[in-house]
Chain A
Amino acid sequence: MEERFIRQTVLPQVGTSGQEKIEKAVVTVIGAGGLGCPVLTYLVEAGVQQIRIIDCDVVGLSNLNRQFLHTTQDINKPKVQSAAEKLQQLNPQVRLELIDQRLTVENMAELIGAPDVVVDCLDSIAVRLLVGEYCLRYDIPLVEGGIKGFYGWVTTINRKTPCLACLGYHAEMEETEIPVLGTTAGVIGSLQANECLKLILGAGTPLTGRMLHYDGLSGSIDEIALQINPNCPVHSKLC
């Protein structure tokens, strides 16, 4: 067993077979920003070797309070390229597929593909909903997370659990220039990466049917049970 991973392979939940699962897993991470940076970092450091990164943005100065894979020298560089340069240094074995395109209904199948897990790190609720519908249609586990200010949430979605549309999220909720502290993105992105690794390993209890809510101001974490909405436009169509 490679020394690089020895501190996790000694865990009973990982071991040699778990590490093989991690290394063979195929993950698509959508967004290489505030959430994407911790998600990508921890997946690569854990040994995930096949990661597709989708992000059509370039690095901007206002990203640098939280998006730690990007530096001042990366301003105006495509985020997928900037992130890939650092991730390759973290683990040179990683095979990254970089997609510098905007996700649309038309290109979703081509861009997301058929990975083992999708981790959604987008800042657009409208596109999150499209991703959610795609993942439910093709039965791909989806790890969702959202942040604002000192607060964030994480939930894991599959066909048998509530999706964002079930909860009442809709495209008109779109917000721009969402205020956020870098640490909030770090906490929620780390939790998303943890969920993704749990799904790959088949370890623990996934955050399915429940939402973990992080409150950085009070320093507390809550959980709320979720139910499928029988009138959900996505579930009623696909499941």
Chain B
Amino acid sequence: MLEVRLFATLREGREKVYFLEAEKYKVPADILDELKIPHEEVAITLINGRHSKLDTSLKDGDLVAIFPPVGGG
């Protein structure tokens, strides 16, 4: 199972947290496609708190956090 947590505007029209079958999602890009998140809206992807790319391999038990850019002051 993968735990996927969406942050900021990526939550709008979606859930905050998804639990997804690990076998179906090999990389974070697969999750974005499943959740209909345009790749260009994603600024930061973390796997278990560490920076990852959209083609970084996922494994069962991973926590995937996905952020849009939030840098206003």
Contact = CB atoms under 8 A, between A and B. Distances in A.
Contacts of A217: 11-12
B73 A31 contact: yes
Interface in A209-224: 213, 215, 217-218, 220, 222, 224
B73 A213 contact: no
**Size bracket of the A interface:** 35 or more
Contacts of B43: 168-169, 173
A232 B50 CA distance: 11
Given A166-B51, A218-B16, A222-B7, A146 B73 contact: yes
Interface stretch (B18-26, B29-37, B63-71): B63-71
Contacts of B48: 225, 227
A35 B71 CA distance: 11
A168 B46 CA distance: 9
Interface residues of B, number: 22
B11 A180 contact: no
A175 B72 contact: yes
A122 interface: yes
Interface string A144-159: 0111110111000000
Interface in B45-68: 45-46, 48-51, 65, 68
A97 B50 CA distance: 38
A80 interface: no
Interface of B: 5, 7-9, 11-12, 16, 43-46, 48-51, 65, 68-73
